[in-house]
Chains A and B, each alone.
Chain A
Amino acid sequence: MTNPHTSPAALEGVRVVDLTDELGAYASRLLADLGAEVIRVEPPAGSATRRVEPIVDVDGEPVSAFELFVNAGKRSVVIDTSRPNGVAQLEDLISTSDLVIESPVPVLEEAGLDAERVRALKSDLCRVIITPYGLDQQPGWSPTDDLLVMASGGLLHLGGYPDIGPVAAYGGQSRFAASIFGAVAAMAALLQRDLDGTGSTYDVSAQECVAQALEDSAATYALTGRVRERQGDRPREAGSGVYPCRDGYVSMIAGRLGTARAWSALVAWLNEAGADGAAELLDPRWSTFAFRQTENAIEEFGRIFTAFAATRNKLDLYTEAQSRMIALSPVSTVADILANPQLLARDFFVDVPEQVGVVRFPRGPYRMSGTPLHDPRRAPALGADTELLGHDLVSGGAA
């Protein structure tokens, strides 16, 4: 995805000082992909992200896949802010920068640089401070833990199983939520500065970022007093949910929210295929939403569909359902994703030469025709760019 035009990158000339832990690291990764020069400042022992799961043993060395993913394309400098000289280095760096992103605490303030001092270093500096609960509500411990933020943000309440209890989604989703909206706030600050030269500071609460994902449940409580509970592995109505098949599971929505036609198409499919018991689904009572939400209907449909799917693979079910305009997808494993025909046809993967060898990455989350993204690049070794401190960095040389 090289840029066929001579246009500058979207964030050409923007220098970002990255003072994040795992809560905010993906925010500056997004900005790096857009062409910003992102300089991570790490303590001598390395940033916390280097020890975040998933950890893979590569030739006896623990390597964090999280670290490689969220820090792709950044620079790394080591600054020991517990020493006066370190604080001075940080000040120099800030005075040449456009944006600072901090997490999970106000890092500059903890290093002794209050808002006034920072403003004196760079009057139009843009800042984003990402914390678990917002600047006015610091917890009595750090660092942040994904399970805790998922819980306090309310999404954990909707996940998991009725019998076992709440289970968090994979992969530290509170960090992605906080980082993605942290990047949105960073862009808002940069746009403000372009307009009127003002540097603004945004306070991003990871709890609020997770609470954006509560679907209808907050409005449901506010308007009806009903508290939505976790649904678990039981479909919420006949035709909508996760169902087992021969080689795994499929996820389907047929009948809910304006998909009435998909339900008819599903019943027709099961009948054409001669699925055991499918004739029963032709009974007119099955055409009503209310009936399909009854326990009996959920049970009965589950029995019919599971028997039908037991002899079929998820990819065959996927293509057949989609040819009938039914919203059914395979429940993909990571191996399935790496072999997905759509992603391969769209050239979605790229091999990145990491220090530990060539590693396959997904390309970025969007495609921009005028300012194409950088492909994922190698994450920097600890302190790889430290020697630039006081030289090129201060003179403002862009990557």
Chain B
Amino acid sequence: MIGAPLAGVRVLDFCWIGAGALVTKTLAELGASVYRIESRSHPDNLRLAPPFRPGTEGIEASGYFASRNSSKQSVALNMKTDKGRELAVELVGKVDIVTSNFRPGIMERWGLGYKEVRERNPSVIYLTMPMQGESGPHASFVGFGSTIAALAGLVDLSAVPGRSPVGTGTHYPDHVPNPGHALVALLAAIRHRRRTGEGQRIEVAQFESTVNVIGPAIVAAGLGATPIATGNRSRTSIPHAAFRCRDEQWIVLSCETDSQWSALISALGLPYIERRSSIAGRRADEDSIESDLRSAIGRLDRSKLIELLDRAKVPNAPVNSSRDIVEDAGLWKRGFWRDVEHPVIGHIPISRSPFRLVDGPQPEVIRPPLLGENTFEVLHDQLGMSQEDYVQLVEERVLY
């Protein structure tokens, strides 16, 4: 089917929390069956993380978990039990891809290291996403998206000179570089497997993956420069900054050309100053230009200002808040947001992956599963498990 290039691909998914969960969310939207292995004996931290709709609570209620686990199937498997691990090993033989993002050693402890998995399934594609990689003196080190961003140089370079570095203010590596890079590698490995029958192991060391998104700074250092944080300022566009409007909302402006600059000053009614008509002159005057703009923009509401600047063709954008983004009509129209109904959470907007077919069906975004919701269905279909055995194993807290 068009738009489902991974139809028929089965994924045994041990990913949890951030980066890994976003990888398998996209695989599911591309048509793969994603069997998410999880357990009440050690639930995904995200299942316990806010936000919760007021009045709802518990491991089914997290909006955070919901936002990155749509379209997957949940299989409750208690990996602390021998039988649970046995079933996981059996499932390995039935799938095309095995994914995880634990510290090195956890999958091995369960008998699910690459070597064992490949013995059971020679053409498996096996993805791991350790923070530092499986080898090296820091292989066992721990971290989260924000500490990985710091380690990889993104935080130090993201600051206003003279102030402490701030990075993105989020766990950014978990959301874009690491799941995105992992997806590119996985899809390439699927192509190779379809052509040759060969599987392989993919290691996304999250540190190394994140260094790549500041790659130009590393290259600049190689050319003899010392990259430093410059806030929002740019050598090629002036102004290039954020400003607060009268209604306390923010806007950003960028003038790369002299004509954009002159359009800006006439739109705002600012005086023409000869020396500012060239980029070199604006650079020398940057502080006072920003200060002039702060006063002028502070007198206008954001929507009015955007109207003015759009008409003058001055590059601008609202600094969209989470409210602005969730209520953005264009994003709903494009199908980026989907209204999904969840039995515990109720209606919640879930985003699809950030690409869409021009002339084809849009991916289905299916509500995130309850913990263990698909256990019987998956174990019955994949391993031929009987209803009787299923009930027994639920009682024994193996399927738990």
Contacts and interface: CB of A to CB of B under 8 A. Distances in A.
Nearest to B46: A257
B51 A219 contact: yes
Contacts of B224: 56, 58
B116 to A, nearest CB: 15
Interface size class of A (residues with CB under 8 A): 35 or more
Contacts of B317: 147-149, 151-152
A191 B216 contact: no
A369 B124 CA distance: 12
Contacts of A239: none
Given A135-B358, A176-B176, A158 B168 contact: yes
Contacts of B133: 342, 346, 367
A327 interface: yes
Contact of A345 (B7, B135, B315, B345): B135
Nearest to A229: B321
A249 interface: yes
Contact of B5 (A68, A133, A191): A191
A39 interface: no
Nearest to B355: A185
A231 B354 CA distance: 26
Contacts of B160: 160-161, 164, 167
Interface in B155-195: 155-160, 163-172, 175-177, 180-185, 187-192, 194-195
B349 A218 contact: yes
Interface string B88-132: 000000000000000000000000000000000000000000001
A8 B317 CA distance: 45
Interface residues of B, number: 155
Contacts of A129: 358
B189 A147 contact: no
Contacts of A348: 208, 211
A100 interface: no
Given A208-B336, A327-B142, A334-B226, A141 B219 contact: no
B64 interface: yes
Interface string B198-209: 111111110111
Contacts of A258: 45, 48
B218 A141 contact: no
A203 interface: yes
A251 B172 contact: no
Contact of B147 (A209, A210, A231, A327): A327
A170 B229 contact: yes
19 contacts: A30-B184, A53-B236, A147-B252, A157-B320, A180-B176, A200-B358, A202-B355, A208-B351, A209-B354, A223-B52, A244-B164, A251-B150, A322-B140, A328-B147, A332-B156, A342-B133, A343-B208, A348-B211, A368-B201
Q: For the complex of A and B, list the 5 residue pairs with the smallest distance between their C-beta atoms, beginning with the closest.
A: A370-B200, A251-B150, A219-B63, A187-B187, A180-B180
